[in-house]
Chains A and B, each alone.
Chain A
Amino acid sequence: MPYFFLCLYKFPMVKIKYIEHNSKEHEVDVANGLSVMEGAVQNDIPGIDADCGGGMACATCHVYVKEDWFNKLPEKSEGEDDMLDQAYKPNSSSRLSCQITVSDKLDGLVVHLPEKQV
């Protein structure tokens, strides 16, 4: 593609809503290909620590996803449940947001943030 057209090309974005434990909502545009964790960090959304930077080694990007969206997410990575064992108050709707890659399918995704990460 000539450079001129590249400049006009807009990176596909989807809307993701992060809801803090205190019910405060943040709806932001996140580029396809990023993780839900990166979407939170880049938009300064409080409640996602992501200490290990997305290496699935710390469980501090824990989110809850309600059933309607949970089943549409990419499957859990191997070892994700092992890390979730170490999260703060995990349950069956828990995911690590670093393991959820944003795509068109997830436009409108809603994730709930835990009370705290550690």
Chain B
Amino acid sequence: MIDTDVLIVGAGPTGLFCAHQLGIIGLKCEIVDNLDKIGGQCIELYPDKPIYDIPAIPECTGEKLTNNLIEQIKPFNFNFHLSDRVQEMKNENEKWIVKTLKGKEFLTPNIVIAGGVGSFEPRKFPTKNCEKFEGKSILYSIKDKSIFKNKRVVIFGGGDSALDWAIELSNNSKISLVHRRDEFRGAPASVERLKELQNEKKLDVFTGYSIKDVIGNSSLESVEIKNEEGQSKKINADYVLGFFGLIMQLGPILDWGLNVDKKTIPVNTENFETNKKGIFAIGDICYYPGKLKLILSGFHEGALAARGCFKYARPDEKYRFEFTTSSKNVKELLGIKE
């Protein structure tokens, strides 16, 4: 069991800056995120897109912002628990015990939910019949590519994941790539390579088609695709892969007994605490009158939530407000030598 002052759920900009604010008031925290990297939506949705409304930073990409925030909390050496998701929580002696999907356990008086619009999960096929094959012969990510050797694999999607895997797997597998329109959004070099392979008859490409149904009883036999004119085709398949990007889902947090309204959690604006004592919500996931879904609002909310955590983490101490420009304590915590 990991004992900490605060558990932060979500390693996006809001969670990261909240960690900084906890650090400078002398609290410890642990940060859990479902993605395999730090940065949340900034890194997953728009790493290269410039952001123009971070105070005092005229222009900054999602990746740059993330890197700067990571740099800013480096002195505190907080632990990140990536590719993991908070699952269950229960209350015990005024503290929370939180379990993750991978079986980690945290004991903490404070939980800060900085979960954005939810954790990222792969977008699935719309076809009901797919469910029984999911995780076996219908996959949304690849962990071990050797399983596809000498197999018939049908790949759906038009982005880099779909193209990269189609190209790579075409060496040892029979690949069919299906995409709903003629244009691919993957890197130009990959699109070029795909065309070469198609001309060399190393793989089949079906554009203008989407999934209609999957066929098979105990094991997958084939996949049926259709175009907008209503024509369909059947492709024999051992595996079907779907690469439609990620969606955001609130997941198990919904079962925590928190008030939830339209995918957001109502909070008070004094310290961003929810209806449960010691559970705070900040960033896109929280709601209060006048809420703006801006990164800068998340920073403000994180700063106040951090102070809210203090009273539960140090019940016998009084919180003293200090400026980073003048406080000796803060400079010590930041490891700055004068």
Give the size of the chain B interface in residues (CB under 8 angstroms). Answer: 25
- Most chain A Cβ neighbours within 10 Å, of B118, B157, B158, B245: B245
CB pair A92 B228 closer than 8 Å = yes
CB pair B210 A89 closer than 8 Å = yes
**How many Å from the CB of B108 to the closest CB on chain A?**
28
CB pair B210 A85 closer than 8 Å = no
CB pair B46 A85 closer than 8 Å = no
**How many Å from the CB of B154 to the closest CB on chain A?**
17
Q: A51-B248, A52-B117, A81-B181 are in contact. Are A57 and B126 (CB under 8 A)?
A: no
In B156-214, the 8 Å CB interface with A consists of: 157-159, 179-181, 183, 185, 210
A69 on the B face (CB < 8 A): no
Whole-angstrom CA separation of A60 from B262 in the bound complex? 14
CB pair B45 A86 closer than 8 Å = no
Q: A-B contact count, CB below 8 Å?
A: 51
- Which of B41, B185, B263, B284 meets A82, CB within 8 Å? B185
CB pair B126 A86 closer than 8 Å = no
Q: A57-B45, A82-B159 are in contact. Are A89 and B244 (CB under 8 A)?
A: no
Q: A52-B41, A81-B181, A91-B228 are in contact. Are A86 and B244 (CB under 8 A)?
A: yes
List B contacts of A90 (CB < 8 A).
180, 210
B254 on the A face (CB < 8 A): no
CB pair A85 B45 closer than 8 Å = no
List B contacts of A89 (CB < 8 A).
126, 210
List A contacts of B126 (CB < 8 A).
88-89
Q: A52-B45, A52-B117, A57-B46 are in contact. Are A85 and B228 (CB under 8 A)?
A: no
Give the size of the chain A interface in residues (CB under 8 angstroms). Answer: 19
Least CB separation from B292: chain A residue: A53
Q: A85-B185, A86-B123, A91-B228 are in contact. Are A58 and B248 (CB under 8 A)?
A: yes
List B contacts of A2 (CB < 8 A).
none
Whole-angstrom CA separation of A31 from B220 in the bound complex? 51
CB pair B293 A58 closer than 8 Å = no
In B205-263, the 8 Å CB interface with A consists of: 210, 228, 244-245, 247-249, 263
In A47-101, the 8 Å CB interface with B consists of: 49, 51-53, 55, 57-60, 81-82, 85-86, 88-92
Cβ contacts A to B, 22 pairs, < 8 Å: A51-B118, A51-B247, A52-B41, A52-B45, A53-B293, A57-B41, A57-B45, A57-B46, A58-B45, A58-B117, A58-B247, A58-B248, A81-B183, A81-B185, A85-B157, A85-B245, A86-B244, A88-B126, A89-B210, A90-B210, A92-B228, A118-B123
